[in-house]
Structure 1
Amino acid sequence: MEARAYLKYARISPRKVQIVLDLIRNKPVDVAMAILKHTPKAASESLEKLLKSAMANAENNHNMDVSKLYVSQCFVSPGPILKRIRPRAQGRAFQILKRTSHVTMVLKEQE
């Protein structure tokens, strides 16, 4: 049995999210929550909310024991890219790519 939670269209680069996800993969949820609380990265706050959501899904929808849960899978994929224009010298224009992310988190119970 597994519980999933998704974060779609997060306005943060997938590369930045991946660094934080690598820290919590295969960890118990209480340890993962502590890591996210004390990691000074931009993605930590939204991933903390996502972990709480996955824990609530596990408890309410699948009747799983929260104390036995661990992060079995977590991954990020790129979402749509917002393209913006930045004016530069001599009438030129540079393109700025504002990247978005889709994050998936899967929790399972330890046997």
Structure 2
Amino acid sequence: MAKGHRSQIKKERNAQKDSRPKAKVTFVRLSSTKANIVLNQIKGKDVNTALAILAYTPRYGARIIEKLVKSAVANAEHNNSMETANLFVEEAFSTKGPTLKRIRPRAQGRAYRIDKQTSHITVVLNER
């Protein structure tokens, strides 16, 4: 059964625009599992608490996610005119990006492959 013309379907889909402030970083040289360990610590927390947690988390991903949260806060202030004190991290997730494949020489002419993972990290904020 047809649901309408393609342009009508696209118009309906685009009308449901998400107005929550968010920030996304793509192709980060960090595996999505390692990013999710840090992201799970800040989900549901208010922005100031999340930034404090990230400042004292001794992981490489924490620096990247800290910049990402600050970017999402700036987007909320400038684009959506939201108050910083009322913001909290509603969603924080990371998806798998393309893998960089590298070769490691081994004994007797063999070559082992090293997979260098990348990820796409997204942080979505909302007001309480």
Q: What TM-score comes out, normalization by structure 2 length?
A: 0.85
Tell me what 2:3 maps to. none
2:39 is aligned with what amino acid? L
Equivalent of residue 94 in structure 2, options 76, 81, 87? 76
Gaps of 5+ in 1: none
2:52 maps to 1:52? no
- AA at the equivalent of 2:60: A
* Aligned residue number for residue 118 of structure 2: 100
Structure-2 separation of matches of 1:77 and 1:40:
22
Q: Which residue of 1 aligns with 2:33?
A: 15
What 5-or-longer segments of structure 2 have no aligned partner?
1-18
Q: CA RMSD in A?
A: 0.6
Greater Rg by CA: 2
The yes-or-no answer on 1:36 pairing with 2:72 is: no
* More relative contact order, 1 or 2 (CA 8 Å, 6+ apart): 1
Judging by fraction of residues, say which structure has more strand. Answer: 1
Equivalent residue pairs, number: 110
Percent identical pairs in the alignment equals 49
Alignment of 1:89 onto 2:112? no
Aligned equivalents of 2:29, 2:115: Cα separation in 1 = 11
